[in-house]
Amino acid sequence: MSLATDSYAPPMSKAPAPQRLPKPRLQWGAALKALRRLLADKEDTFQVFEIMRALNGKSSAWGYHRLLETPQGGRIAYERVELEPRLMDDAWLDSLPLGSVGHAYRDFIRSEQLTAQGLAQISQEGAKVVTVAHPYAWFGRRTRDVHDIWHVLSGYHRDGLGEACLVAFSYAQTRGLGWALIAVGGALRGRKARHPYARAIWQGYQRGKAAAWLLGEDYERLLAEPLDAARRRLNITPPTIYDSIPLEARNEAKA
């Protein structure tokens, strides 16, 4: 049979329907309503994601493209590891060295009765876009899944002030306006208190700005690194103002 006269063509397989993300737009009304609910109950994590959906639409795209500009970002983006199932692997977490970031993270989530899966489930309530097969959606999930690792790295606990400080830290790292709104709300709530809540939150922003860009890290490697060494390498300084406030007073500044 001559190839020149062969008219055979293989059957065409149906291409999967493309998945697209909605065009980002700021929804300040929805964000402010969610902020009021969050300030009334810091455990209402759903409101955090409502604020993120309302204001952080452009931050995942910005972060993804910044990731590609980092030395290992191309590989990380190509491999596109989903961190949530990795962080749910108890055997892997238990295998991480004593004193490592991952060891501290394991102790943190178990003492606080948290799971990466639980956080993921809350983020998906009423938001199908979270699970879309798209690079920006993947980067958004990555940002979500490292939140409790950032608690460990930053030294901020889950009390009201610690959460407010961490969202200020996170704004500096992500440029997500939702984080900024929550931080400002927490600072305003504590502005007349006898403890320096607003200064602690502002220091959280300054620490996040001074630190290395944490979303560019290979988290499987980072979790195996000694915690103190990781903080030095990433230029994460001690939270001195937050640490100076008594434990029993830290929930007076809600976030």
- The pLDDT of residue 24 is 74
Mean pLDDT value across the chain: 89
Rg of the Cα atoms in the chain: 21
**pLDDT (tens digit, 9 = 90+) per residue, 86-116?**
999 999 999 999 999 999 999 999 999 999 9
Look up residue 87 and give its two tokens.
């962080």
Query: In terms of residues, how long is the chain?
Result: 255
**Do the Cβ atoms of 155 and 239 come closer than 8 Å?**
yes
Kindly report, residue by residue over 206-250, the tens digit of the pLDDT: 999 999 999 999 999 999 999 999 999 999 999 999 999 999 988
* Greatest Cα-to-Cα distance within the chain, rounded to the nearest angstrom: 91
How many other CB atoms sit within 10 Å of the CB of residue 67? 19
pLDDT, tens only, 28-54? 999 999 999 998 888 898 999 899 989
| Domain ranges within the chain, ordered by starting residue | 30-35+43-252
Mean of pLDDT values over 54-83: 95
pLDDT digit string, tens, across residues 177-217: 999 999 999 888 877 678 999 999 999 999 999 999 999 99
Q: Is the pLDDT of residue 2 over 80?
A: no
Q: What mean pLDDT comes out for the span 66-80?
A: 97
Query: d(Cα 183, Cα 165) in Å, to the nearest integer?
Result: 7
Side chain identity, residue 41: D
Specify the 3-state DSSP secondary structure of 190.
Answer: coil
Sign of the CA dihedral running 88, 89, 90, 95? negative
74: part of which helix (H) or strand (E)?
Answer: helix 73-79
φ/ψ of 228, rounded to 5, equals -65, -40
Question: For residues 139 and 129, which has the higher predicted lDDT (pLDDT)?
Answer: 139
